[in-house]
Structure 1
Amino acid sequence: MSHVRRELLLFAVGGVLGLLVDAGIAQSLVSFAGWNIYTARIVSFLSAATATWWWNRRHTFAHRQSGRSARAEWLHWMGLMAAGAVVNNGVYLIVLEAFPALRPWPAVAVAAGSAVGATANFLFARTLLFRSRKTAA
């Protein structure tokens, strides 16, 4: 299996992990702690993005490096994932505006946004953060 295919597969696994963390924390904070949906979403996003950073650092891009300290790398990751979220939500809105017949079916626009956002996140992570191969010390 090529390096890029392996990275894509592991990135997808990390995405599922992030989704589970995100949804689990948001749902728990709203259902069990009485938080409002917006505050819960901030905490769940930060937690999920941290989990995916850890996963991708340890597994997906284990053979690559950022050249940054762990803290700086995490901050850069968070910024990249926020940019990916903007892409995701932008595609969602564009699809719903371009195809008004899909408004009763927003899941289609969510899927389109997720696909484009995930692709952007992978490319951002691979080319802007983990861009160098690790060298033997």
Structure 2
Amino acid sequence: MFGPDQAPLVREFLRFGVVGTIGFLVDTAVLYAAIGLAGAGLYAGRALSYLAAATTTWALNRHWTFRHRRGSAHPARQWIAFLVVNLFGFASNYGTYAALVSLSPFCAQHPVIGVAAGAVAGMAWNFSLSRRFVFSPRPGRGS
């Protein structure tokens, strides 16, 4: 199915998936905390939870998934680049979430379903763009 040339890419994608799962847990925990403890609504709470999850996944991807590709970029610059290029994944992620919680009463009562669907929707964008523009081993390419 995959040749030996593709093994590093497959390993990165699997690690990215593990990190994404951790990000999903952070996203969900922060969303429920924002709603329950801070009184945030479904949308503002999700914006906060997404930022927390994105920061978590950036750090884990930097130190584990793409550690051999992270280059010499200053961490703050790389974090900003990660957030910028992942706006495509965010649009897909948040759009899926917003559609589900606004159109489905069940998803509005159980927003974790929308978070999960959004995470899956944004994953391919996030992996491709992060690998290419944030964790590129080439100098001067945001690495």
Same fold (TM over 0.5): yes
Paired position in structure 2 for 1:69: 74
Per the normalisation by structure 2, the TM-score is 0.71
Moved more, 61-70 or 79-88: 79-88
Check 1:73–1:118 CA distance in 2 against 1; reply closer, same or farther (3 A cut): same
Gap runs ≥5 in structure 2: 97-102, 108-112
Check 1:69–1:86 CA distance in 2 against 1; reply closer, same or farther (3 A cut): same
Partner-residue secondary structure (3-state), 1:65: coil
Check 1:114–1:88 CA distance in 2 against 1; reply closer, same or farther (3 A cut): same
Counterparts of 1:71-86 in structure 2, within 5 Å, are 71-86=76-91
2:16–2:127: 8 Å Cα contact kept in structure 1?
yes
In structure 2, which of residues 17, 22, 26 is the aligned counterpart of residue 12 of structure 1? 17
2:31–2:46: 8 Å Cα contact kept in structure 1?
yes
Gap runs ≥5 in structure 1: 93-102
**In structure 2, C-alpha distance between the alignment counterparts of 1:9 and 1:62, rounded to whole Å:** 14
Q: Read off the aligned partner of 1:122 and give its amino acid letter.
A: F
Give 1:129 shift. 1.2
2:24–2:119: 8 Å Cα contact kept in structure 1?
no
1:65–1:133: 8 Å Cα contact kept in structure 2?
no
**In structure 1, C-alpha distance between the alignment counterparts of 2:76 and 2:84, rounded to whole Å:** 13
In structure 1, which of residues 21, 31, 38 is the aligned counterpart of residue 43 of structure 2? 38
Question: Given the alignment of the two structures, is residue 131 of structure 1 paired with residue 136 of structure 2, yes or no?
Answer: yes
Check 1:50–1:89 CA distance in 2 against 1; reply closer, same or farther (3 A cut): closer
Check 1:127–1:61 CA distance in 2 against 1; reply closer, same or farther (3 A cut): same
Q: Read off the aligned partner of 1:77 and give its amino acid letter.
A: F
Partner-residue secondary structure (3-state), 2:44: helix
CA root-mean-square deviation: 2.9
Q: Deviations over 1:50-73 (max 9, x none)?
A: 000001001000111244210000
Check 1:30–1:116 CA distance in 2 against 1; reply closer, same or farther (3 A cut): closer
Check 1:116–1:131 CA distance in 2 against 1; reply closer, same or farther (3 A cut): same
Question: Given the alignment of the two structures, is residue 57 of structure 1 paired with residue 43 of structure 2, yes or no?
Answer: no
